[in-house]
Amino acid sequence: MPTPITYKQFGEKTILIEWPARIQEDILYDIIRLKAAILDNLSEEIEDCIVSYNSLAVKYQSIFKNYNKTKQALETLYKTAHQSTTLTSYLWDIPVCYDTQFGIDLMELSKRLSLSVNEVIELHSKATYMVYFIGFLPGFLYLGGLDERLHIARKETPRLRVNKGSVAIGGHQTGVYPMQSAGGWHIIGSTPIHLFDLKKEQPCLAKSGDKIKFSPVSFEEYTRINKKLDQGIYELSKTVINA
């Protein structure tokens, strides 16, 4: 059965569709299926579809001539989307070097969490993370699935500069900074992988519904991967998953 959802007019051209206020995979897949059905059936009318943890903002090209009729079209799509739409997503295997020259907060974080550095690395790298949505920065993945033992408040004073590729923990989440920026999360490592590349047809590496696995690599392996990326010969491991 479809999950009960609500529809709200959000300005002159947008409808906000909301699911129960929970962060869970079945709700995310429900949202993604509806987004796919909308883009498949109403692509000429749609300007953008924006996914969040428990909502989908559907922005139209033109202002509503008849809001109720537009809403009814979405309701009809939702009744069948969860049955007719098969999602194809990927599990991405992201190499991470947890060496302390990259993981500049690793020692402090391990002390505050009463865990050894190796335990922090093991807990962080053994989990499989769900990509819920992308925001904050282009290519910044909001990931669910961080082990509760690694939950820690963000830094009281954010850094003005966090390097591209930094892998970090903040609050109940982990993530990768896709470009240099300010940031208040605890940095525990780095990946050489480009999560956002404007030169590619699809600039963002992953999308909502994909999953991420972090695989520890040595500094030497990190350097080798970097060189292969520069030469255009490195192929990132990914596995097809269906939902």
Query: What pLDDT is stored for residue 4 in this prediction?
Result: 81
Domains and CATH numbers, the chain: 6-85 (3.30.1360.40), 89-242 (2.40.100.10)
Angle at 170 between CA 165 and CA 174, to 5 degrees: 50
**Structure confidence at residue 81 (pLDDT):** 76
Q: What is the pTM of this model?
A: 0.86
**210-228 confidence digits (pLDDT tens):** 999 999 999 999 999 999 9
The tens digit of pLDDT for each residue in 72-124 reads 999 999 988 766 667 789 999 999 999 999 999 999 999 999 999 999 999 99
The predicted-structure confidence for 47-56, as pLDDT tens digits, reads as follows: 999 999 899 9
Strand residue runs (E) in 32-185: 46-51, 55-60, 88-96, 128-134, 141-144, 159-162, 166-170, 173-176, 181-183
End-to-end CA distance of the chain: 16
Name which residue leads in pLDDT, 203 or 135. 203
